[in-house]
Amino acid sequence: MARPRYFNTDPAAIPKTFKEVRRWQKERKGKIKDLSFRIGQAEHKQPSLLGSNRSELTITWIGHSTFLVQIGGLTIVTDPVWANRMGFARRLEEPGLGLDEIPPVDVILLSHSHYDHLHTGSLKRLKGSPVVLVPEGLGGMVRKLRRGSQVHELPWWGHVNIGSVEFHFVPSQHWTRRTLTDTNTSLWGGWVFKRTAASATDGEQRDESIYFAGDSGYFSGFRDIGAKFPNMTYALMPIGAYEPEWFMGTQHVTPEEAVQAFLDVGAKRFIPMHYGAFRLADDTTKEALDRLLAEWERRALDRDRLRLFKHGETLVHAAEREDERSS
């Protein structure tokens, strides 16, 4: 029986042909790029805090699209990739924390099946007995990799509750493939996870929410996500792998489009990702970062709303709130 195929809301957003891939590969041979810039590692990493934390919202960037997030007493890993190379290319920088440095995981979130978002070795080696939340069509593969784990497949706008945290699978504009025959046989998307918590200082109920965008080209769905989940706290948005734009445009936002997507979503703070660990396209780490900062300045956005992480850096939301009160 044939497996179902999935499609973007924009019918023009389809995977590139092999002819177009060959055109890109020929084109990139003529480009000379400075690849020396590195994001670097955090000076003060906090694995002990992550191991003992049961109450605070924290966000730690491992690299690329892999984050360790703690919310509502849960430890969550997004798109686990601790691989040393992607295809023939070595990783540009080491992961911010090693697999042996992170605590047992309660929830794994997968945005889609591409190799730079789903590394089988990393998925199998994560500690703990996590619930794994995946797009439709990906459950069978993940159940084989994490035998005994509880796996939930979700469609766009589907959701599950784990403890006090709601997990919502939301649309993106992308595609999937791991072999020559499985193109778009599993879905792709982002995740919104949120909880309502009482403040320790005044008892007021406050939402804590994170939007993890996965991979996406720019599309109207960002506005739909912002309308459904207003006032999100953090948006983890991709900014890399956009060049050449004629080839990457329908599947990866440019830095400028990422800023617009952030504004569409309406989150309070922007944390960039999907750059600095692997060279997947022709843009460089510095080019992506420079374009992001230039667009931020052009739009006269508050610099405090943009959080640039080093690899292994941990943001503690309670400290962010304290900074807001004292400023």
Retrieve residue 21's tokens.
């891939």
Non-local CB neighbours of 109 within 8 Å, separated by 6+ positions: 76, 77, 78, 79, 133, 167, 191, 193, 212
Residue 321 has pLDDT above 70, yes or no: no
Residue-range definition of the domain harbouring residue 147: 39-322
Token pair for 198 = 């009482």
pLDDT in tens, 37-77: 999 999 999 999 999 999 999 999 999 999 999 999 999 99
Residue 241 and residue 199 in contact, taking contact as beta carbons nearer than 8 Å: no
Q: Convert the pLDDT of each residue in 210-237 to its tens digit.
A: 999 999 999 999 999 999 999 999 999 9
* Least confident among 48-52, 194-198, 307-311: 194-198
Q: Using DSSP, state whether 13 is helix, strand or coil.
A: coil
126 found inside a domain: yes
Q: How many domains does the chain have?
A: 1
Nearest-angstrom CA–CA distance, 190 and 156: 9
pTM given for the model? 0.95
Can you name the residues that pair with 206 across neighbouring β-strands?
A: 197
**By the 8 A CB rule, do 65 and 111 touch?**
yes
Nearest residue to 211 via CA among 184, 185, 192: 192
Give domain status of residue 128, yes or no. yes
Residue 307 lies in a domain: yes
Q: Does residue 8 sit within a domain?
A: no
171 inside domain: yes
Neighbours of 89 (CB within 10 A): 10
CATH number for 305 = 3.60.15.10
Distance of CA 97 to the CA centre of its chain: 16
**pLDDT above 60 for 280:** yes
What gap in Å lies between CA 289 and CA 277, rounded to an integer?
13
Tokens found for residue 179:
């072999």
Q: Tell me if 10 is assigned to some domain.
A: no
107 in any annotated domain: yes
Task: Answer whether residue 79 shows pLDDT above 90.
Answer: yes
Is residue 50 within 8 A of residue 68, CB to CB? The reply is yes
Percent of the chain with pLDDT strictly greater than 70: 94
Q: What are phi and psi of 160, to 5 degrees?
A: -140, 155
| Helices and strands, counts by H and E, the chain | 9, 15
